[in-house]
Amino acid sequence: MNTMTENSTVGYVTDDGRQIGGTIMEMKNITLRFGGVVAIENISFDIHEGEIRAIIGPNGAGKSSMLNVISGFYHPQEGEVWFNGKKRPSMKPFEVAEQGIARTFQNIALFKGMTTLDNIMTGRLTKMKTGMLSQAIWWGKAAKEEEEHRQKVEEIIDFLEIQAIRKTPVGRLPYGLQKRVELGRALAAEPKLLLLDEPMAGMNVEEKEDMSRFILDVNDEFGTTIALIEHDMGVVMDISDRVVVMDYGKKIGDGTPSEVLANQEVIDAYLGVSHD
Amino acid sequence: MAQSDAVLDSIPALLARNAVTFGDKAAYREKEYGIWQSWNWKEAAAEIEALALGFLNLGIHEGDFVAIIGRNRPYFYWAMVAAQSVGAIPVPLYQDANAEEMAYVLGHCGARFIVVEDQEQVDKVIEVQDQLHQFEHMIYIDPRGLRKYDHRRLHQFSHIQDQGRAAREEFMPELQARTARLNMDSTCVMLYTSGTTGKPKGVVLSNRNVIVTSKNSCEFDNLTENEEVLAYLPMAWVGDFIFSIGQAYWTGFCVNCPESADTMMTDLREIGPTYYFAPPRFFEGQLTSVMIRMEDAGRFKKWLFRKYMDVARKVGPAILDGKDVSFGDRLSYFLGNIFIYGPLKNTLGLSRVRIGYTAGEAIGPELFEFYRSLGINLKQLYGQTEATVFITQQPDGEVRADTVGVPSPDVEIKIEDNGEIYYRSPGVFEEYYKNPESTADTKDAEGWVATGDAGFIEKSSGHLRIIDRAKDVGKMADGGMFAPKFVENKLKFYPDILESVVFGADREYCVAFINIDLTAVGNWAERNNVAYASYQELAGHPEVYNTIQAHIEEVNKSVAQDEMLSGCQVHRFLILHKELDADDGEMTRTRKVRRKIVGEKFNDLLEALYGGKSEIYTETEVTYEDGRKGSISATLEIRDVAVVPVKQKVAAE
C-alpha cells in the first residue's frame, strides 16, 4: 500500500492499458564520488509502483553505480533516497533487502556448489523467523517454516520453468540458466522493487526472448516494480514503460521509450558525438 | 474379472464403474511444485463431471469436436472424457505442431472448442483463428501471461469447472441423458495420423474399437488395476490414448504425468512404472547415455560392468524366458544383479517394469538384447492408428528382435501377393473423417485393412516379420528388389548414426544420406581432442567420415548375405550438413523420415552422388523453432564404399 505523502504523485496508464501506481522510489539530486571521480552527478528520477523502469547509457555512464546506490552498496555524498514515501537513512545492503528491494548482479553471484533449489532458498533468508539452532536440528516451528518456504520456492521454480535443474549444482549450468536461477533467488525474497543489472548480457536471441518474457510475467503476475539496466536497446524499448538515459554520470533523458528515442542528446550519446 | 460388456460400452461408463469399484485408488498423479499430486478415481470422476457440466454451460452440442492441445497432464485426459460424457468427440493434437499444421487439423474437424495448456498454445490458435469458422471457445489451464487477453472466447479451465459445479442442478439431467445415449457404436475419439505422405487424416475410432481392443490387450498381458504407467508420449498418438485412457479405464490402473518434458527421466525413476512403452529411439538414447557415462567411470567399475554385462548377455534372456540355465550361471547372474543390473535398472527407472513394449520402428538386435539381458521384459508390437494400435504382439517367452510377434487376440492377418500385410479386427477404425475415398482405398468391404507395410509370416514360429513400407519397396534398375528401410535400420543400429536415408529405386546402385548422432559422436570428439563448433563441422570431419564408412561397409557385408536384397548395398554416401527436422518438413512429428521430401529437397546432393563427384557445394533453407527461416551452406564430401560383389544376379519375379 502506497502511503500518500508529498513525494507521491498520481499514477498513469501505459499504452497497453496497465494502471501504474504512484511513486514508490524517488532519487533526489544524487551525487556519488569516488575520490576525485564523479560517478553520478546530481541525478533525480522516480520509479512508480508497478512499472518497468530502465536505466540505459553507454559504458561508464554510471548505471551500475546508480543501482548500487538504490540497493545500498554505495552511499551517495549528496542527495536523498526516498522509498515508500519515507526518506531513507544511510543503510546497509541487508537492511535495504529487508525493506523489500532485491537484485541480481551483472556478474552472476550464486553459490556455485549449491543446487538451484538451495540457491533460491537463500533468497528466503530475510523471511525466515526461526533461529539457526532450531533450523539446524529441524525441529518444531523451524520444520514447518521450511516447508512453507520450500513451497514458495517451488512456485518460483515452476514459474521460471527450471524444474529439470532443481537438484543440479548451479556451477554446472549454462550461463543463461544461471541468470534465470539468480532471478529466481531475487524473486524468492518477494520484493516490492526488483533491480536487475544487465539481465540479458551475454545471451543469445532465444535466451533474451525467454528472459524478456519472464521479466514481463513477473511484473504482470506479481505486480513487482522492476528497475533494470540493459544494453540491448531493442529489449529495453520493447519491455520498459519509462527509460532514464545516463551519460558520463549525468541524466540526459527521461521518458517513455519513444520520447527517449527522439531525444537529440540521447542520439548523440549513442552515436558518439564528441564531448567538448 | 467378471464384467458385463452390456453396461461398459463407453469410456464414461468405465469411469463410473471405476469411481465405485476403485474409488479410493489413485487414478492420476502429476508432479507439480516438486511433489506428486494425486487424484483417486472418485476425485477424478468429480473433476470430469464438473468440466462436463461446464461444457454444457458453454453450449456444447452432441457431435461437436473438442480439440486438445498440450503435453500429458491429468487435465487433458479429463477434458477428453468430459467431452465424451456430453456426447462430443475429443481430438488430441500434437502440441509442437506449428500454427499452419494446427490450422489444417482444427479446420478439417471444425472444432468448436479447444482446450490448451498455456499462453504459447493460445497464441498459436489466435494466430490462425481467422481461418477457423467453427471455432468458438478456447479453454486454457495455465493463466500465466493471459491476464490482458480478450476473454470473450477465452476461459480458464478451473473457472469452467466452477461454473459447471455452480450449475450442477440445472445441467445434471442433461449430462446424464447424454452419457446414457453413448454406446459401442458412438465415436470415442478422432486421432490424426502423422502423415508420412500428404495431409494428416482423421481416424475415427468407436467405443467398440477402443474398449474391445483395450480388453483384449489387457488380458493378453494380464494387466491389473495395480499397474503404474508414465504418460509421456504425445497425447495425439493412438498409443497414448489406448494406454492412458483405454487400458487405464478398463483395468483402473494409475496414469502418472511428468512434471515437464525435461524432467521425464527423473520422474520415470521416481514412479518406476510396471507397464511401459517407448519407441526404439528412446531406448537407444538411454543406452547411449549409459555407455558414455561408463566411459568416464573408473577402471574397476568399468571392469565390473564389462564382466557382468557379459554374463547378462550370455544367460539373461534365457533366465527371463524361464529356460534351463546352469546353477553357476544363475549364481553369477544373481551377483550381477546386485552389483550392476539392479542399480542400472534403477537409474534407468525400469526396476519395476513387468511388461515393456517398443514399437514404431525396428529395434536393433543388440539394443533389444541389452535390455532383455538386464531382466527387463521388453517386447515388440506392431500396430497402427487404424487398428487401434494392436495388430501383432509378442507373447511372454516368445520374444525376438527380428519379428513383431503373433496376431493379437481377435486379429486376422493375410499377406497379399505383393507382400503387403492386411488385417481385420474389432479394432479396425470406422472411417477417415470427411474422406470416403481414402477410407475406401484402405479398408475394403469385408473389413480388411491395408497396412502399407510389406512382410511375411515366418513358417516355423508363426511370427510376423516386417521388411519395409510396401510403397517404398521398389525395384532397382536391374530388376532387383529395393527395400531402403531394411538397410537404413541396419545403419541406424550404430550409435554414431542417428538417421539414414537410402535411395536406389530405378537406379543402378544405392546411395545414402547419413545424419550423425551428435551426442555419441560429440563424446567421441571430446575424448579424442577433436575440436568442433557445430553439427556441420563435426559431420564433415574426415575421421567421422572414416568411421561412418567402416559402418556402411559392415552393413554391406550383412546385406549381401540376404539373397533377395543383396543389390541394396550402399555404394556411395555423404553426411548431411544439417539434422533432419520436423520443422523443415523432412520428418513427421513422430520423427519418421519423409523419404520423398528429403529426396526432392536435397536433389542436388542426390545428383552429385550418382554423378560421380567427390564433393558438392550446397545451400539449404532451414526453419528455426520460432518459425523464422535462414539458410546454411556447406561443401560436402562424397565417399565411395566397398561393396561385396554379388555372384549371381537374383532374377526378379
Q: List Cα–Cα distances, B114 to A109, B55, B83, B578, B645, in angstroms.
A: 44, 11, 11, 35, 59
Q: What pairing do the DSSP bridges indicate for beta strands B154-156 and B137-140?
A: parallel
Task: Answer yes or no: is B647 within a domain.
Answer: no
Task: Answer yes or no: is B645 within a domain.
Answer: no
**Strand ranges across the sheet with B510-516:** B497-503, B510-516, B570-575, B639-640
Neighbours of B152 (CB within 10 A): 7
Q: Do A157 and B259 touch (CB under 8 A)?
A: no
Distance from CA of A240 to the nearest CA of B (A): 16
pLDDT tens-digit map of B19-46 = 999 999 999 999 999 899 999 999 999 9
For residue A212, the chain B residues in CB contact (below 8 A) are none
Higher pLDDT, B130 or A7: B130
Domain boundary among the residues B255, B272, B297 is at: B255
Higher pLDDT, B652 or A136: A136
Question: Is pLDDT of A107 > 90?
Answer: no
Q: Are residues B485 and B625 in the same domain?
A: yes
Place of cell 553520478: A40
- Decide: residue B251, CB within 10 A, 0-12 exposed, 13-18 middle, 19+ buried: buried
Task: Answer yes or no: is B172 within a domain.
Answer: yes
Q: Are residues B528 and B384 in the same domain?
A: no
Q: Check residue A9 and give its pLDDT.
A: 65
The backbone region for A249, taken as left when phi is positive above 0, alpha when psi lies in -120 to 50, beta otherwise, is left
Number of domains in chain B: 3
Output phi, psi for B585, to 5 deg. 80, 5
Place of cell 529395434: B363
Which residues numbered 2-31 in A keep a CB inside 8 Å of some CB on B? 16-18
Place of cell 494387466: B223
Q: Are residues B30 and B156 in the same domain?
A: yes
Q: Are residues B172 and B26 in the same domain?
A: yes
Q: What is the DSSP string of A128-146?
A: --S-HHHHHTT-THHHHHH
3-class SS letters over B554-577: HHHHHHHCCCCCHHHCEEEEEECC
Distance between CA B466 and CA B452 in Å, rounded? 11
- State the cell numbers at B111: 472444432
Distance between CA B34 and CA B259 in Å, rounded? 8
B420 in Cβ contact with B450 (< 8 Å)? yes
Q: What is the CA radius of gyration of chain B?
A: 26
Which residues numbered 143-162 in A keep a CB inside 8 Å of some CB on B? 150-151, 154-155, 157-159, 161
ipTM score assigned to the predicted complex: 0.78
The conformation of residue A189, written as its DSSP 8-state character, comes to T
CA A170 remoteness from chain centre: 21
3-class SS letters over B429-467: CCEECCCHHHHHHHECCCCCEEEEEEEEECCCCCCEEEE
Question: Is pLDDT of A184 > 90?
Answer: yes
Q: Are residues B168 and B244 in the same domain?
A: yes
Question: Is pLDDT of B183 > 70?
Answer: yes
Task: Answer yes or no: is B1 within a domain.
Answer: no
Which residue is closest to B33 within chain A, CA to CA? A154
B123–A contact, CB cutoff 8 A: no
For B499, the domain range is: 474-640
Distance from CA of B144 to the nearest CA of A (A): 7
Give the long-range contacts of residues B2-6, CB within 8 A, separation 24 or more: B5/B211
Q: State percent of chain A over pLDDT 90.
A: 49
Question: Is pLDDT of B651 > 50?
Answer: no
B187 in Cβ contact with B241 (< 8 Å)? no
Distance from CA of B285 to the nearest CA of A (A): 18
B126 in Cβ contact with B140 (< 8 Å)? no
Task: Answer yes or no: is B651 within a domain.
Answer: no
Torsion of CA A62, A64, A69, A73, to 10 degrees: -130
- The CATH number of the domain where B417 resides is what? 2.30.38.10
B144–A contact, CB cutoff 8 A: yes
B145–A contact, CB cutoff 8 A: yes
B91 in Cβ contact with B190 (< 8 Å)? yes
User: Which three-class secondary structure state does DSSP give residue A273?
Assistant: coil
- Mean pLDDT for B493-517 is 90
Q: Check residue B401 and give its pLDDT.
A: 83
Residue B195: pLDDT band with limits 50, 70, 90? low
CA A20 remoteness from chain centre: 17
Task: Answer yes or no: is B85 within a domain.
Answer: yes
Instruction: Identify the H or E element spanning A200.
Output: none
Which residues numbered 311-340 in B keep a CB inside 8 Å of some CB on A? none
Q: Are residues B116 and B249 in the same domain?
A: yes
| Domain definitions of chain A by residue range | 1-100+191-269, 113-190
Q: Check residue A145 and give its pLDDT.
A: 86
Q: Check residue B647 and give its pLDDT.
A: 57
Distance between CA A225 and CA A20 in Å, rounded? 10
Q: Do A217 and B145 touch (CB under 8 A)?
A: yes
pLDDT tens-digit map of B251-295 = 999 999 999 988 998 999 999 999 999 998 889 888 888 888 888
pLDDT tens-digit map of B403-454 = 899 999 999 999 987 778 999 999 999 999 999 998 998 999 999 999 988 8
pLDDT tens-digit map of B449-473 = 999 888 888 888 889 988 887 877 8
Distance between CA A188 and CA A191 in Å, rounded? 8
Distance from CA of B263 to the nearest CA of A (A): 5
Instruction: Identify the H or E element spanning B337.
Output: none
Q: Check residue B197 and give its pLDDT.
A: 59
Residue A6: pLDDT band with limits 50, 70, 90? very low
Query: Poorest-confidence range of A213-227, A233-247, B270-284, B467-481?
Result: B467-481
- Decide: residue B621, CB within 10 A, 0-12 exposed, 13-18 middle, 19+ buried: exposed
B630–A contact, CB cutoff 8 A: no
**Strand ranges across the sheet with A37-48:** A37-48, A23-34, A78-83, A86-87
Q: List Cα–Cα distances, A64 to A52, A106, A237, in angstroms.
A: 17, 9, 19
List the alpha helices (DSSP H) in B234-383: 238-241, 248-251, 264-271, 280-295, 299-320, 327-336, 342-348, 365-373
The conformation of residue A60, written as its DSSP 8-state character, comes to T
Distance between CA B484 and CA B507 in Å, rounded? 13
Residue B196: pLDDT band with limits 50, 70, 90? low
Q: Are residues B323 and B457 in the same domain?
A: yes
Domain boundary among the residues B434, B468, B502 is at: B468
- Mean pLDDT for B549-569 is 85
Task: Answer yes or no: is B344 within a domain.
Answer: yes
- CATH number at A1-100+191-269: 3.40.50.300
Q: Smallest Cα–Cα separation from B38: which of B80, B74, B70? A: B74
Task: Answer yes or no: is B3 within a domain.
Answer: no
B106 in Cβ contact with B125 (< 8 Å)? yes
- State the cell numbers at A142: 523451524
Question: Is pLDDT of B653 > 80?
Answer: no
- State the cell numbers at B616: 558438392
Output phi, psi for A160, to 5 deg. -90, 5
Residue B612: pLDDT band with limits 50, 70, 90? confident
Q: Are residues B557 and B619 in the same domain?
A: yes
Q: Check residue A15 and give its pLDDT.
A: 76
Residue A5: pLDDT band with limits 50, 70, 90? very low
Q: Check residue B189 and give its pLDDT.
A: 96
Distance between CA B378 and CA B363 in Å, rounded? 11
- The CATH number of the domain where B584 resides is what? 3.30.300.30
Q: Check residue B1 and give its pLDDT.
A: 43
Residue B515: pLDDT band with limits 50, 70, 90? very high
List the alpha helices (DSSP H) in A137-243: 141-159, 175-188, 205-222, 233-239
Q: Do A216 and B145 touch (CB under 8 A)?
A: yes
Q: Are residues B226 and B287 in the same domain?
A: no
Residue A1: pLDDT band with limits 50, 70, 90? very low
Q: Tell me the helices (H) and strands (E) count for chain B, helix number first.
A: 23, 29
User: Which three-class secondary structure state does DSSP give residue B189?
Assistant: strand
User: Which three-class secondary structure state does DSSP give residue A71?
Assistant: coil
Q: Are residues B496 and B636 in the same domain?
A: yes
Residue A186: pLDDT band with limits 50, 70, 90? very high
- Mean pLDDT for B285-309 is 89
